[in-house]
Every structure is written in C-alpha cells, then in structure tokens.
Homo-oligomer: A and B are copies of this chain.
C-alpha cells in the first residue's frame, strides 16, 4: 500500500514546487511584510547567508508563476507582496512611502469573462492602484 497524501499539503507542494529552505524563508518574509518589498529587500530580510541573491530572483519567479505572490510596479520598480490563494484581492500602495492598504475585493471577473469570449485562456491579471496616502500629502 502506498502512502496517502498528507491531509494538508504546504502551499509550495500544492503548487507542485519542492519545499526548500529558501522558498519557505521567502514565503515567510512575504507573509510578514507591512508593505510591498523589492527583490533586494527580500533578499536582505531572508538573510544574505540563507540563500543567494540570484536564487531569490528565481524563487520569486517560481512563486509568481505559482500564484503565491503578487507582483506590483510602483514608480517603475517591481515590488512583491504575499497572495493568499483563498482570498484574492488588491491593494493601494502609496507612491511616496509604499504604505499599503487592502481593498478587499477584485472586480475583474467581468473583464476576464470577456477576454475568454474573445478566445483568450489561462488568463491572469495584475491590478495596481497607487496614490498618496494621508500621511504623505503632497503634490503629484
């Protein structure tokens, strides 16, 4: 008799990715973020001795591919934040201080539906709202 699958697979295994120390560390760092962080900031938070910078980039790619994080662009730079597969939603990010607030919803499905009708499949989306938060009241 074969082993039965564990009752709850880690998010990584569910996504078909191997569970490595680097990936677990990156996921853990993402989960604790107060606001979106750059690849390099994540590399630092993970601990530069935990894994190589290049590996962090590869990990972020694999997690993105697996839908385990959200990538947003603020001021032209890529930032990463965690994604809970069970509750997809979006955020506003302050263009000045990167502070972030959940908007708790995703209103994209009608657009996805239309895209599907137009022959597209494997549809993904990224929505980025940016603004200036109340603490950063300034122009532009």
Residue ranges of A at the interface with B (Cβ–Cβ < 8 Å): 71, 73, 76, 78, 90, 92, 94-95, 101, 103-105, 107-108, 110-112, 114-115, 118-134, 137, 139-140
- A76 proximity list for chain B (CB < 8 A): 71, 78
Count of identical protomers in the assembly: 2
- Kindly state the separation between the CA atoms of A96 and B115 in the bound complex, as whole angstroms: 15
Pair A111/B103 contact, Cβ less than 8 Å: yes
- Kindly state the separation between the CA atoms of A121 and B118 in the bound complex, as whole angstroms: 35
Across the interface, name the chain B residue whose C-beta is closest to A111: B103
Pair A103/B114 contact, Cβ less than 8 Å: yes
Pair B129/A101 contact, Cβ less than 8 Å: no
- Kindly state the separation between the CA atoms of A17 and B108 in the bound complex, as whole angstroms: 33
